[in-house]
Amino acid sequence: MIKILLTELLCYLLFLVFVYIEDPVMVTAFIALMIIAGFMLKKTGRNFLQEIEKVYAENLGKVGLLAAAIALTVPFAIMGDSYWLQILNFMMLNAIMALGLNFMTGRAGLICLGYAAFMAIGAYTVGILTLKAGISFWIALPLAGIFASLFGVILGLPALRVKGHYLALVTIAFGLIVQELLLNLESITGGTNGLIDISSPSFFGIDMGTTVNFGFMSMTYQANFYYLCLVLLVITTVVLYRFSNSLFGLALNAMREDQLAAQCYGLNLTNYKLLAFAIGAFFGGIAGGVYAAMINFIAPENFGYSLSIIVISMIILGGLDSIPGALVGAFFLTVFPEKFRAFEDYRVMFYGIIIVLCLLFMREGVLPFKHRIFKPKTAGGEGN
């Protein structure tokens, strides 16, 4: 317990240092130092690392709880810096998407290269419902998830007949179709202009688009959304963890391993594939819904193919089928590029390089999913 707390606090501290240094040279030096420290630890402190790993693996609930508790303090620790709060909000929305995509692609083995489409559907659902129908954000948000799920099923139907590379192509096409629809259904979506002036939600009468006053300290509106995103991220993680670590998750894993064998052992592939698509898409829709309310402006180009690639590179970096991996992947790939704003033009290239490097040298990602869902209780123990 104390070990978990200490290691998490250490990571938190390192993160804060990282946030506070501005000079790109210093940042590079800091990252280099961290990498060297990481290698040193791997070489000399192997026992220590293994011990930490074991403690973490055995107390996942506590790890998550502590991390969430620490995350509550972030807005205060960075003194309400609106720029960094916004980045962290994006990070958490990315993490929600990465978790959703990870469920589809990592757990169920259904490759999806058009995940941004689900975010787009969620964002436009919230935008249209709050702007044109005057529905409250809190009702529109779950509807955004449900609509995205419906589109997930619609994507799933043709995808039932194809697998592997062909499935990847179908999902790319799906992403493009959704984007084209958003561009061309001008009367509903506003076409290239997108939707402007989406109102911020109000929470028990407090407009979330205004500054918050904590009494001793007042913060920009981003802090409101910080806590909203945090709550949603925790819910997403818990829900997907539960689904993954159940007999349902096991069946999805079996389907990923060998579809034909799974079918010959009684799995109704249609149901399981559609469910995996629907559940994965739901969280994309939720992330999109929050995005629309937070930015107050959405346009089709926000949800292009490159966003799909960014999300998939997060789960590849973190390790396919690994929930902690998806979180870590989203964290690194959102926070690090911010320090290198000067090289903004090369951003997508950077994601491409990450994917290539991971696939070449680190197929299992940073935090691979090592232990299985069900383990024998007696003898043998953890194994590998």
Partner 1 sequence: MDLLNVENLTIRFGGVVAVNEVSFSLKAGETLGVIGPNGSGKTTLFNLLSGIYQPTNGEIVLAEKSTKGMRPDEVFHLGISRTFQNGRLFWNLNVLENIMMGMEEVRNSKLFGSLFGTKKEIAIQEQAIEKAFEIMKIFGTLLTSQAHKASKDLPYADRRRLEICRAIASKPRVILLDEPSAGMDGVETETLMNDLIKVKKAMPELSIIVVEHDMAFIKGLVDKVMVLDYGRRLAYGSFDAVAKDENVIKAYLGQGDGAC
**Residues within the interface to partner 1 (CB under 8 A):** 239, 242-243, 246-251, 253-254, 257-258, 260-269, 275, 372-377, 379-384
| Residue 79, CA atoms < 13 Å, CB-side half-sphere | 2
**Least CB distance to partner 1 at residue 235 (A):** 11
**Least CB distance to partner 1 at residue 345 (A):** 39
**Least CB distance to partner 1 at residue 236 (A):** 12
CB contact at 8 A, 93 and 290: yes
**Least CB distance to partner 1 at residue 318 (A):** 17
**Least CB distance to partner 1 at residue 242 (A):** 5
- Burial of residue 266 (CB within 10 Å: 0-12, 13-18, 19+) is exposed
Which one, 117 or 274, has the nearer CB to partner 1? Answer: 274
**Amino acid (1-letter code) at residue 188:** I
CA distance 96 to 157: 24
Q: How far apart are the first and last CA of the chain?
A: 23
Which one, 172 or 239, has the nearer CB to partner 1? Answer: 239
**Least CB distance to partner 1 at residue 170 (A):** 21
**Amino acid (1-letter code) at residue 158:** P
Which one, 215 or 266, has the nearer CB to partner 1? Answer: 266
Which one, 3 or 375, has the nearer CB to partner 1? Answer: 375
Which one, 49 or 261, has the nearer CB to partner 1? Answer: 261
Per the structure block, which two tokens stand in for 78?
A: 């960075």
Which one, 230 or 254, has the nearer CB to partner 1? Answer: 254
Which one, 87 or 250, has the nearer CB to partner 1? Answer: 250
Rounded to 5°, angle at Cα 169 from 167 and 172: 110
**Least CB distance to partner 1 at residue 54 (A):** 15
- Burial of residue 88 (CB within 10 Å: 0-12, 13-18, 19+) is buried
**Least CB distance to partner 1 at residue 272 (A):** 9
CB contact at 8 A, 112 and 101: yes
**Least CB distance to partner 1 at residue 208 (A):** 28
Which one, 73 or 270, has the nearer CB to partner 1? Answer: 270
Residue 195: strand pairing partners = 298
Which one, 352 or 368, has the nearer CB to partner 1? Answer: 368
